Structure 1
Amino acid sequence: MLSILVLACSLYPVLKTLCVQIHSAVTGSYVAGYHSVLLVNCPTEQTARDIGRSIMEKRLAACVNIFPRTTTMYYWNGEIRDTSEILLVCYLNFRAVHPYDIPEIISFPIDDGSQHYLKWMEDAVTDI
């Protein structure tokens, strides 16, 4: 019984993706929350470019936007810090290439959008 539960849990992401794709194909509609926008602050533009390029080469995002020079205020070690950062906007990221100990990575589900753009995203991003 335990092995069936473990197998079901490990297959859940695959089954969910398959069900979403079937639903979308049959109804021609978008399933809210299937895609997301990810915000990542980076210390330099080069870091943002490196992370963005790595994501794009792996086809984990359909598009990456880099916003130059944002101002960030945050608590670190009990103090308020004020620093300039570069904002990277994409659809998926992975911790291995980020230089911060605790990178700011925040994801927002997409509830609705242009069907043509969402279809393009679907085609541009590889299945995980």
Structure 2
Amino acid sequence: MKIILTTCKSKQSSEIALKLLEEKLAACVTTISGARSRFLWNGEIQVEEEKQLIIKTSDEMVDKALSRIIEIHPYDIPEVLVITPEQVSENYLNWINESVN
């Protein structure tokens, strides 16, 4: 199992989540509101209100999901991080794999 993290504006977060689920690239997408990102862009400090997406997928589908996120993400350089959980309950892992494979 892999967890992919990305941030984006409110409207786009729903679009990304739905596309990943419809295309069976993710089994679950959790959206957390109220994220505030501060970052350097073109030498200036920027502040954006965003939503954090926590995308759960299988080891086999992570590359396809990652490519699709980058393809549909509205940002020029989206934050897309892949995390491997240290432990996952067996039932949840089975459900993830069955959902996307």
State the TM-score, normalizing by the size of structure 1.
0.67
What displacement does 1:78 show? 0.9
Match of 1:41 in 2: 7
* Structure 2 unmatched runs, 5+: 57-64
2:53 is the alignment partner of 1:88: yes
TM-score normalised by structure 2 residue count: 0.84
**Residue 111 (structure 1) shift:** 2.4
d(CA) in 2 for partners of 1:42, 1:73 = 13
Distance in 2, matches of 1:123 and 1:49, equals 23
Structure with greater Cα Rg: 1
Letter in 2 for 1:37: I
Q: Name the structure with the higher helix share.
A: 1
**For residues 82 and 91 of structure 2, what CA distance do their matches in structure 1 show?**
22
- Matched residues, number: 91
> What value does the CA root-mean-square deviation take over the aligned residues?
1.1
- Once the two structures are TM-superposed, the CA of residue 37 in structure 1 deviates from its matched residue by 0.6
- Moved >3 Å (runs of 4+): none
Q: Percent of counterpart pairs with the same letter?
A: 31
